[in-house]
């Protein structure tokens, strides 16, 4: 398939040190390649053969797959930013992908199946402190102690006692219930967890939404 015609009939073509391009031809559109600029911070993580997922603007809801073919170790330095070129090969049997499309590529570094996961925001959640008026604090006789925020002792004991142990809060009987879990792999959006106090289908609290009273 001819992608573009670089010269017109009757035009003089001069060949000196570089062979002139007359046509740009795609040999087989069912097999395509993506050239990806890889940041130097990620070059040590990517190896040939790793699976790749990507999307294109033409089909934002469709995910395509491929694999890393080669990682070029020849660096490119542009304005002080060092990148490496990674080639991704893929099958395009339906011919949905066309030359020149912009791809948003994710390299799958590792994969874990059949595990529980929670949003990473759940690890940063703590129940809000109960609002107590100044008058009630005076009546309590312990003003200084009431004004100090309550420390989450469950979280402190879990993180200092055992490595990779965190406390999350489940919604039970309309109240937050703390549960200690062991955390595993993460992709910055979700975190793998395990533990006896949590099961698939439990409601995990990630935050509190303020409701304005009418």
Backbone angles phi, psi at 21, to 5 degrees: -90, 125
Sign of CA pseudo-dihedral 93, 94, 99, 102: negative
Mean pLDDT of all residues in 113-132: 84
Each residue of 106-117: pLDDT tens digit?
998 888 889 999
Domains in the chain, number: 2
Q: Are 208 and 128 in contact (CB under 8 A)?
A: yes
Structural domain contains residue 62: yes
Q: For residues 151 and 172, state if they share a domain.
A: yes
Q: For residues 102 and 131, state if they share a domain.
A: no
Q: How confident is the model at residue 69 (pLDDT cuts 50, 70, 90)?
A: very high
Each residue of 20-59: pLDDT tens digit?
777 777 777 888 999 999 889 888 889 999 999 999 999 9
Sign of CA pseudo-dihedral 88, 90, 96, 98: positive
Q: Which domain holds residue 128?
A: 116-194
Say what percent of the chain tops pLDDT 70. Answer: 82
Q: For residues 100 and 158, state if they share a domain.
A: no
Structural domain contains residue 67: yes
Q: For residues 45 and 98, state if they share a domain.
A: yes
Q: For residues 59 and 35, state if they share a domain.
A: yes
Select from 72, 88, 107 the last residue of a domain.
107
Structural domain contains residue 135: yes
CA–CA dist 64, 93 (Å, integer): 12
CATH number of the CATH domain containing 52: 2.40.30.170
Mean pLDDT of all residues in 146-161: 41
Residue 158 has pLDDT above 70, yes or no: no
Structural domain contains residue 38: yes
Structural domain contains residue 102: yes
Q: What is the pLDDT of residue 147?
A: 40
Q: What is the pLDDT of residue 57?
A: 94
Q: Are 195 and 179 in contact (CB under 8 A)?
A: yes
């Amino acid at each position: 398939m001819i992608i573009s015609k670089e010269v017109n009939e009757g035009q003089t073509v001069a060949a000196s040190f570089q062979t002139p391009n007359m046509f740009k031809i795609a040999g087989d559109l069912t097999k395509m390649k993506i050239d990806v600029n890889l940041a130097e911070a990620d070059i040590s993580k990517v190896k040939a053969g790793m699976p790749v997922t990507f999307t294109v603007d033409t089909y934002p809801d469709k995910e395509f797959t491929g694999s890393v073919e080669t990682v070029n170790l020849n660096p490119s330095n542009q304005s002080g930013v060092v990148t490496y070129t990674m080639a991704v090969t893929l099958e395009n049997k339906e011919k949905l992908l066309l030359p020149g499309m912009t791809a948003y590529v994710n390299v799958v570094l590792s994969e874990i199946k059949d595990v529980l996961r929670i949003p990473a925001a759940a690890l940063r959640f703590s129940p809000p402190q109960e609002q107590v008026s100044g008058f009630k604090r005076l009546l309590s006789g312990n003003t200084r102690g009431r004004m100090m925020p309550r420390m989450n002792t469950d979280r402190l004991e879990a993180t200092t006692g055992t490595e990779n142990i965190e406390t999350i809060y489940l919604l039970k009987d309309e109240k937050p219930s703390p549960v200690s879990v062991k955390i595993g792999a993460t992709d910055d959006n979700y975190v793998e967890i395990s533990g006896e106090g949590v099961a698939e289908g439990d409601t995990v609290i990630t935050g509190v939404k303020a409701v304005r009273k009418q």
